[in-house]
Structure 1
Amino acid sequence: MSSQNPLLRFGVIADPQYADADPWLELDRHYRNSLGKLREAVAVLNAEDLSFVVTLGDLIDRGWENYDAVLSIYGDLRHESLLLPGNHDFAVSPEWLGGIHERLGMPAAWHDFSRGGFRFVVIDGNEVSLFSTAAGDPRHELARRRLDALAAAGAVNAREWNGGMSDEQFAWLEVTLERASEAGEKVIVMGHYPLHPQNEHNLWDCERLTGLFARSGNVVAYLNGHNHAGNLGRDGNTWYVNFKGMVDTEAENTFAVVEVFPDRIVIAGHGREESRLLPF
């Protein structure tokens, strides 16, 4: 019999992408309006019983100075706040690039933790990219080579605004999933970039990760932002949930509450975000 009470509940926000800047009307991105949307989301989520609230990247659109305004709103959140960066969070002066993870209060660029008997894993898809490091850095040069190879192969995600992972991080992820399997834990992985279905916004390493998840068999869901239109897919035992971008539209909000049961995930969408029932 299915459990009627969730093992845990948590909030999800994706791509507030705030900036003190005029809107980009062609893409329907209204940067200043994200502060009001965030205040609304925080008020709603504060009224919920939640284990934490995760923001799946792109707190700002650009400019180190914009972190102050957006992070001050998160200061009103009564729940634990997990912030992870997206590509836009690195659109700052080069001297600030090394301080992004600390600014977001992250224990490490990639890490894991346990809640409600589930293993949560945070990955860093910005690690190998053209924006997270300055020219001349070995990771920057590696990113250029990877992007050139993807472009030569005609990959749809061969875009400068995507990124990838190092072999070191992939090996860590592999070990983390193995340990979770040995402990009998189901896993929920969270990152900024989508992995599945195929999309121009996908992580450069997407097939490598979806293959790992399929082999592991214990990753029940992967949660991400980046593609502001949102998306949903399933491959093997894993649901791939792309949450919609808060910065889009002039006034309509988007965020969600996720309930985790032993046999399913239930997503209660607010605003433009869709509500979903995802059985394991």
Structure 2
Amino acid sequence: MALARRVKRRPRADGTAPSASREERPRATAKLTTWSALFLVAMALLCSASLSLWLWQQQGVVGASWRERAGTPIPAWVESEEPIVSVGLIADLQYADRPDGYRVGSRRHYRNSLRVLRSARESWLRSNVSHVVVLGDNVDRSCREAHFGGDPSRALSEVLLGFEGLRPHFVLGNHDVESFIGPSRPHLLRALGLESPHYAFRPAPGLKLIVLDTYEVSTYSAGARGEEAMAVLGRKRETSGTAALKGPGNLRGLDRRFNALGGALGGNQTDWLRRELQESDRLGERVVVFSHVPVSPRAVSLRCGTLCLSWDHDEVLGLLREHGCVKAFFAGHDHAGGYHAEDLWGPRLRTGATVAGERRILHHVTVEGVIETGSGVGAYATLDFYGSGVAIRGEGRVPSRFLAF
């Protein structure tokens, strides 16, 4: 093979350096283009990483790995066993008779919520599911507005028809209590068939399901509870007025939770919860707790972050961790969903001893909201309870996973 000769260019008569040949010019341009592209890619990655880190710091989210958020797949042996009981689960319908719209960067499908609910009802009835836990926000606050119906009672009645033939157990959400604010709140409870917004029931022997009201103390509460809520927010924020209080304002980290979209259990409800857990510990029951607002900073999405936490999340977490009967905590509110398996260790294991039975896992599940579910897609689940755990059989946007007890 012949080798091309390298031609040595001589200096010009005026002493200047000779220009590159026609063959060398494209080669130099190609090298410059490659290095420029690599530099731009590196800068884009650096900016993306910096922005993500800044967002996590602003929202105070500890975060979880993708594997942790995915959870444990449902094991094969589960398919050969009959569950002790099955319970339906759905979150954040936020129905309103209005066109789709965008809020906080996400598309909301207000009318489609009823179609998703009908699909869920048909699925549950086929599976002989009777009990259903509804994680709050049955209607959207906009149903109070004249151009979107102006009657939250009518919107709520449309939702309640979707549970015909089932036994729904309702959790109060911020859109519910805002739609039926003040004197209308007792009407909301009557419509939902609730004597109290926080309660417990046993769908099967040895299993207790507890429903919390995270808006007992909130800006939507009447009387002393509402005044207490405004005092709490007043100590944390500089802004005033309910509309301004719905955002994080200048708050950072875990303090972002102090906004009008959240609330707290209050002292009386916290005492009630403690007594319920003490009773279940004594009886050897398994307990699963349901709330509209999450309490774990690691079970919220990056988009919502600590803005979606309960005001008294640390106190509630302390109670859940203290009582071994509690196996899982389900919430809504954060439409993107989330999951975190909290590894808890008994006092003897923390000192280094290896004592069987001292370790347990507390599961935190934030269920994806129906309101952000498009046409032809589902967003609900069936909880199949077994002696050793609960299988979440999700539909559409709600992933399936196994929560080991």
Please confirm whether the aligned pair reaches a TM-score higher than 0.5, indicating the same fold: yes
Q: In the TM superposition, what is the alpha-carbon distance from 1:156 to its structure 2 partner?
A: 2.4
Give the unaligned 5+ runs of structure 1. Answer: none
Asked if the contact 1:15–1:58 (Cα under 8 Å) also holds between the matched residues in 2, the reply is yes
2:217 match:
128
1:274 match:
399
Amino acid at match of 1:129: S
Q: 1:100 aligns with which of 183, 188, 192?
A: 188
Q: 1:66 aligns with which of 125, 150, 155?
A: 155
Counterpart-to-counterpart distance in 1, 2:212 and 2:233: 20
- Asked which structure has the greater CA Rg, the reply is 2
Say yes or no: does 1:144 pair with 2:230: yes
Q: 2:287 aligns with which of 163, 176, 187?
A: 187
1:85 match:
172
2:323 match:
216
1:12 match:
89
Amino acid at match of 1:82: H
Amino acid at match of 2:340: G
Q: Which runs of 4+ in 1 moved over 4 A?
A: 150-154
2:368 match:
244
Counterpart-to-counterpart distance in 2, 1:169 and 1:61: 26
Counterpart-to-counterpart distance in 1, 2:295 and 2:173: 14
Counterpart-to-counterpart distance in 2, 1:221 and 1:9: 15
Q: In the TM superposition, what is the alpha-carbon distance from 1:147 to its structure 2 partner?
A: 2.4
Counterpart-to-counterpart distance in 1, 2:119 and 2:84: 26
Amino acid at match of 1:57: G
Counterpart-to-counterpart distance in 1, 2:200 and 2:159: 25
Counterpart-to-counterpart distance in 2, 1:270 and 1:66: 25
Counterpart-to-counterpart distance in 2, 1:40 and 1:250: 13
TM-score normalized with structure 1 length: 0.92
Counterpart-to-counterpart distance in 2, 1:232 and 1:151: 29
Q: Name the stretch that deviates more: 1-10 or 249-258.
A: 1-10
Q: In the TM superposition, what is the alpha-carbon distance from 1:151 to its structure 2 partner?
A: 4.5
Q: 2:197 aligns with which of 89, 109, 123?
A: 109
Asked if the contact 2:216–2:266 (Cα under 8 Å) also holds between the matched residues in 1, the reply is yes
Q: 2:267 aligns with which of 144, 149, 167?
A: 167
Secondary structure in structure 2 of the residue aligned to 1:19 = coil
Q: In the TM superposition, what is the alpha-carbon distance from 1:51 to its structure 2 partner?
A: 4.3
1:118 match:
207
Say yes or no: does 1:157 pair with 2:264: no
Q: In the TM superposition, what is the alpha-carbon distance from 1:22 to its structure 2 partner?
A: 2.3
2:349 match:
none
Q: Which has the higher helix share?
A: 2
Q: Name the stretch that deviates more: 25-34 or 177-186.
A: 25-34
Say yes or no: does 1:202 pair with 2:271: no
Q: In the TM superposition, what is the alpha-carbon distance from 1:150 to its structure 2 partner?
A: 4.5
Counterpart-to-counterpart distance in 2, 1:70 and 1:167: 32
Length, aligned pairs only: 275
Say yes or no: does 1:35 pair with 2:114: yes
Q: Name the stretch that deviates more: 203-212 or 103-112.
A: 103-112
| Residues 17-28 of structure 1 mapped to structure 2, 5 A cutoff | 17-25=94-102, 26-28=105-107
Q: Deviations over 1:80-132 (max 9, x none)?
A: 11122200012336442232111111132111122322111111101111124
Secondary structure in structure 1 of the residue aligned to 2:372 = coil
Q: Name the stretch that deviates more: 196-205 or 218-227.
A: 196-205
Give the unaligned 5+ runs of structure 2. Answer: 1-76, 145-151, 239-250, 299-305, 345-360
